[in-house]
Chain A
Amino acid sequence: MVARLVGLKLALLRNGLRRSPWQVVALVLALLWGLGVVVLLGAGLVALRFAGADVARPVVVGVGALALLGWALVPLVAFGVDETLDPARFATFGVPRRRLVPGLLLAGVIGVPGAVTLLLALTTAVTWGTSVPAVLVALVAALLATLTCVAASRATTTAAAGLLRSRRTRDVLLVVAGLLLVGTGPGINVLLARAGDLAALAGAVVDVVAWTPLGYPWAAGADAAQGRWGTALLRLLLAAATLALLLLGWGAALGVAGGGPTGGSGRSSAAPAGGGRRLADRLVARLPAVPAVAVAHRCLVYWRRDPRYLVSTASVLVVPLLLVVIPLAQGADVGAWLLAAGPAVAFLTGWSLHDDVASDHSAFALHVSAGVRGRDDRAGRALAAGCWQLPVVVVLAVVPAALGGRWALLPAVLGLSLALYGAGLGVSSVSSALAPYPTAPPGGNPFQTPRGAAAATVVAQLVTTLVTAVVALPTAAAAVAALLGVTWAGWLALPLGAATGALAVRTGIVQGGRVLDRRAPEVLAAVSRS
């Protein structure tokens, strides 16, 4: 069974490469990246051998624990897990779960992240290899560490997907997971900043971490290198137990989540009608009944009913929080940092439209068969987003300036925010018609990325980000001048930003609409693929 599942994964990988040259490009890029990481960090691990256990131990245990944490948590908020071997697809074969789990685990190591983790973990044998038994301990610990990483990522995403199948809990959990992840880094920062001696503290923290599931496998090698054999063996046993527990948990979660390939909760839920109508809805309902307004109204409903939209809303609101937490952690002045909230949120939200059509998935066929003009489609989506995003951006630009009494900087900050927001909306209005790529399908596991979408996604996101930045560049120059003390430049940035934003949105809607009119069937085919 194990060999068969690993073979299946390899076969699927091979067939995927045969299907599209982009997948080959993606794999080559990923391999190059992986190679770079392995060489860089691997060299570091070899160097640590000569640095002494006092230095090597905190570094290896600390970084290793963070890597494991990353495996467990990152797929929950970004990238997702590779869905090639989705356990739900085995639902009809009547294979007992416990026979499926080891094979899925090994198949999970196949791939660039798995290979990088495995190679680096094995390299720790060089770091700790003072004697033959120490090398053996380090190798066993490396294997345990790698498998634990993969098992952790599967267990968390499977468990979360199982819980998230009921729509109500979905958004709440997502937001909590996102906040936890985002909060971890700054949280550690706060701890570090409040303590005096950094190295001593790191050592102390690592000593604690080494006795947690995150640290067992990474610390075992260090113990062996320092001749503490009893401790090393104990940690190996604990690491093995952790892996076993994770696999048990994963198997159990599979039972919950593996019920069916689609996300129907089986529960009937009436939509929040009448009473729950929002202000934005009421405003839109007063606008004339043209297709663009209909699209906007529909998008507004999605912004609050679809967990995928809720996630992106939540991630936007995390930014101002970060801007409070980071300076607090560094002991810097919060006020100055907060000034970045408006422009940062403007940049992120304006850009969020770039996968709006992809989120429709094949439901976009309704727009195509109704012959909706591209301009109306673009305008509707931009209108819905602007309805709630523009006020948020303006508030986030004005309030920090008001709090810090930095009224002189307000025109610059507000102008830059408007330019970035408009540029983002405009650019993504064109890019989502020009280079659509599949995202997580509606009702599917929001943590899974469609196969083969990763490379196109990264390229599209990179290009749209760049173009957005270029469009906002003149305003940014004026705004920066104002921040550096040329106060009158702020009064240049405000009208310039407002004009840039408005023009970018207009151009984006017209040009994006033209592209969509020409390519609607192709866009439909591209977003229906997942």
Chain B
Amino acid sequence: MSAGAPALALRGLTKRFGDKTAVDALDLDVPVGSFYGVVGPNGAGKTTTLSMATGLLRPDGGAAFVLGEDLWRDPDAGKRRLGVLPDGVRLFDRLTGTELVRYAGLLRGMPRDVVEQRTAELLDALGLADAGGTLVVDYSAGMTKKVALACALVHAPRLLVLDEPFEAVDPVSGATIRAILQDYVAGGGTVVLSSHVMDLVQRLCDHVAVISAGRVLAAGTLEQVRAGSSLEERFVDLVGGGRDVAGRLAWLRDSSA
């Protein structure tokens, strides 16, 4: 790892699906130790970007550097320090929660006793200790997110990339996840997360990037990006398309069907 390199650096990342360009020469720098929020409307290319930044989806062009290591040229070096929580991806859900987290650790070649200890501690911290013997297929959406997070954390990565970590998570579990992430950043780790919930990003993150149509519209510290107003107002300004709907769809109000 070269000294002073950003935790995550994306350079000209590009991905096309057919004739649609999902991510368009995207550049982004995530400083070490930051809590970085990536926001954008549906279909902005957030998941595609994060997939390319974590080695799950091969970009058509550009590069992704994890702590200075080129992820697509030398995947092993980057992936060792990287923890990933992908969105919309299945888990090996015929395993129990304990088995799944243990599996994630052993896949990384960690010693068995370390894996066992960390698995127990992670499940305990995430409030899943009682569900450790239950098949993941029978977990609720929130429990599934939490066990996936445990899988991303078990090898103590230096950079954590989380795609929609709070989606379908109840407030109690959400608070647990937030506390764990804040603790992780306080300990020198770096978190990149994507979210739809501006309020949450504003409360949690110190850096933020607004992505739309596969490009970065604004990026920097939270204060720089929101420039005095709330993140949500700024977001709607940047992305555009906020419509004044008052008075339209009148039929919806006096619907009698």
Binding site for B on A (CB under 8 A): 264-265, 267-271, 273, 289-291, 293-295, 297-298, 301-302, 305-306, 360-363, 365-372, 441-443, 521-522, 524-525, 528
Q: Quick check: B134 and A270 within 8 Å, CB to CB? A: yes
Q: How far is the CB of B97 from chain A (nearest CB, A)?
A: 9
Q: How far is the CB of A380 from chain B (nearest CB, A)?
A: 9
Q: Quick check: A366 and B94 within 8 Å, CB to CB? A: no
Determine whether B169 belongs to the interface, using a CB cutoff of 8 Å to chain A: no
Given contacts A267-B138, A365-B86, A369-B79, 10 further A-B pairs with CB under 8 A are A273-B96, A294-B103, A295-B107, A366-B104, A371-B75, A443-B93, A521-B57, A521-B58, A524-B56, A528-B89
Contacts of B108 in A (CB 8 A): 291, 370-371
- Residue from the list B91, B92, B94, B134 in contact with A268, Cβ < 8 A: B134
CA gap between A372 and B107 in the complex, in Å: 6
CA gap between A295 and B135 in the complex, in Å: 18
Contacts of A363 in B (CB 8 A): 89-93
Q: Quick check: B92 and A370 within 8 Å, CB to CB? A: no
Determine whether B228 belongs to the interface, using a CB cutoff of 8 Å to chain A: no
Binary per-residue interface labels of chain B (95-109) against chain A in the complex, 1 for a CB within 8 Å, 0 otherwise? 110010001101111
Q: How far is the CB of B27 from chain A (nearest CB, A)?
A: 21
Contacts of B94 in A (CB 8 A): 301-302, 305-306, 442
Q: Quick check: A371 and B96 within 8 Å, CB to CB? A: no
CA gap between A267 and B111 in the complex, in Å: 35
Q: Quick check: B56 and A366 within 8 Å, CB to CB? A: no
Which 3 residue pairs of A and B lie closest in terms of their CB atoms, listed nearest first? A294-B106, A371-B79, A289-B112
Binary per-residue interface labels of chain B (41-75) against chain A in the complex, 1 for a CB within 8 Å, 0 otherwise? 00000000000001111100000000000000001
Contacts of B155 in A (CB 8 A): 370
CA gap between A268 and B109 in the complex, in Å: 32
Binding site for A on B (CB under 8 A): 54-58, 75-76, 79-80, 82, 84, 86, 88-96, 99, 103-104, 106-112, 115, 133-135, 137-138, 151, 155
CA gap between A524 and B51 in the complex, in Å: 11
10 cross-chain CB contacts under 8 A: A265-B138, A268-B134, A271-B95, A271-B134, A298-B95, A363-B89, A365-B84, A367-B107, A369-B86, A372-B107
Q: Quick check: B89 and A365 within 8 Å, CB to CB? A: yes
CA gap between A290 and B99 in the complex, in Å: 15
CA gap between A291 and B102 in the complex, in Å: 11
- Residue from the list A267, A291, A365, A370 in contact with B79, Cβ < 8 A: A370
Contacts of A524 in B (CB 8 A): 56-57
Question: Given the known A-B contacts A302-B94, A305-B94, A365-B89, are A370 and B104 also in contact in the complex, defined by CB atoms under 8 Å?
Answer: yes
Contacts of A521 in B (CB 8 A): 55-58
Question: Given the known A-B contacts A270-B133, A294-B106, are A289 and B115 also in contact in the complex, defined by CB atoms under 8 Å?
Answer: yes
Nearest to B139 among chain A residues (CB) is A268
Contacts of B58 in A (CB 8 A): 521-522
Q: How far is the CB of A122 from chain B (nearest CB, A)?
A: 41
Q: Quick check: A366 and B109 within 8 Å, CB to CB? A: no
- Residue from the list A290, A293, A361 in contact with B90, Cβ < 8 A: A361
CA gap between A136 and B31 in the complex, in Å: 80
Q: How far is the CB of B77 from chain A (nearest CB, A)?
A: 9
Q: How far is the CB of B158 from chain A (nearest CB, A)?
A: 15
Nearest to B92 among chain A residues (CB) is A363
- Residue from the list B54, B80, B92, B112 in contact with A298, Cβ < 8 A: B92
Q: How far is the CB of B135 from chain A (nearest CB, A)?
A: 5
CA gap between A361 and B135 in the complex, in Å: 17
CA gap between A441 and B110 in the complex, in Å: 30
Contacts of B115 in A (CB 8 A): 289
Contacts of A443 in B (CB 8 A): 93, 137
Q: Quick check: A369 and B54 within 8 Å, CB to CB? A: yes
Q: Quick check: B107 and A291 within 8 Å, CB to CB? A: yes
Q: Quick check: B92 and A360 within 8 Å, CB to CB? A: yes
CA gap between A332 and B211 in the complex, in Å: 73
Nearest to A294 among chain B residues (CB) is B106
Question: Given the known A-B contacts A368-B55, A442-B90, A521-B56, are A271 and B133 also in contact in the complex, defined by CB atoms under 8 Å?
Answer: yes
Contacts of A441 in B (CB 8 A): 90
Q: How far is the CB of B23 from chain A (nearest CB, A)?
A: 15
Q: How far is the CB of B66 from chain A (nearest CB, A)?
A: 11
Contacts of A291 in B (CB 8 A): 106-109
Q: How far is the CB of B178 from chain A (nearest CB, A)?
A: 23
Contacts of B133 in A (CB 8 A): 270-271, 273
CA gap between A454 and B22 in the complex, in Å: 29
Q: Quick check: B80 and A371 within 8 Å, CB to CB? A: yes
Q: Which of B57, B58, B137 has its CB near the most chain A CB atoms (within 10 A)?
A: B137
Q: Quick check: B56 and A369 within 8 Å, CB to CB? A: yes
Q: Quick check: B134 and A366 within 8 Å, CB to CB? A: no
Contacts of A269 in B (CB 8 A): 134-135, 138
Contacts of A371 in B (CB 8 A): 55, 75-76, 79-80, 108
Contacts of B112 in A (CB 8 A): 289
CA gap between A371 and B99 in the complex, in Å: 19
Q: Quick check: A365 and B56 within 8 Å, CB to CB? A: yes
- Residue from the list B82, B95, B137, B138 in contact with A369, Cβ < 8 A: B82
Nearest to B75 among chain A residues (CB) is A371
CA gap between A368 and B107 in the complex, in Å: 10
Contacts of A362 in B (CB 8 A): 88-90
Q: Which of B56, B111, B135 has its CB near the most chain A CB atoms (within 10 A)?
A: B56
Q: How far is the CB of A85 from chain B (nearest CB, A)?
A: 24
CA gap between A488 and B33 in the complex, in Å: 72
Contacts of A294 in B (CB 8 A): 103, 106-107
Q: Quick check: A298 and B103 within 8 Å, CB to CB? A: yes
Q: How far is the CB of B18 from chain A (nearest CB, A)?
A: 9
Q: How far is the CB of A450 from chain B (nearest CB, A)?
A: 14
CA gap between A306 and B94 in the complex, in Å: 7
CA gap between A371 and B79 in the complex, in Å: 6
Q: Quick check: A271 and B96 within 8 Å, CB to CB? A: yes
Q: Quick check: B91 and A301 within 8 Å, CB to CB? A: no
CA gap between A33 and B80 in the complex, in Å: 51
Q: Quick check: B103 and A290 within 8 Å, CB to CB? A: no
Q: Quick check: A301 and B109 within 8 Å, CB to CB? A: no
CA gap between A360 and B89 in the complex, in Å: 11
